[in-house]
Amino acid sequence: MSDTTVGGAPPAATSDITGVVVGALGQMLGRDPAGISPQLRLFEDLSFDSTSVLELLIQLEAELGVEFDTDTLEPTDFETVGALVTYVTGQVEENA
């Protein structure tokens, strides 16, 4: 299994997925990804709304080459950056 997202190959480790999620957040927010920590709350700290979350999920699906199962999404999956990474990691592993 590849440890990069080149060619849509899923990342091999949670740290790789964290990098993809944080990178996508940084791009969407126009912020340096280094300043985005797992404890940051998407809605309260990063000013996300439901539209922003959908845009982020679409971007992550494209970058990771997976399709998220919307039936499994829970509000808690979007509480923090870390919670989102956990959700995305689970989805990537299910689709591997």
In the three-class reduction of DSSP (H, G, I as helix; E, B as strand; rest coil), residue 41 is classed as strand
Per-residue model confidence (pLDDT) at position 4? 40
CATH of the domain at 65: 1.10.1200.10
Quick: pLDDT tens for 6-25: 444 444 577 799 999 999 99
Measured between alpha carbons, how far is 63 from 57 in angstroms, rounded to an integer? 10
Confidence band for 89, pLDDT divided at 50, 70 and 90: very high
Q: What is the mean pLDDT of residues 41-64?
A: 95
Confidence band for 35, pLDDT divided at 50, 70 and 90: very high
Measured between alpha carbons, how far is 35 from 4 in angstroms, rounded to an integer? 22
Is residue 43 in a domain?
yes
**Structural domain span for residue 71:** 6-95
Is residue 1 in a domain?
no
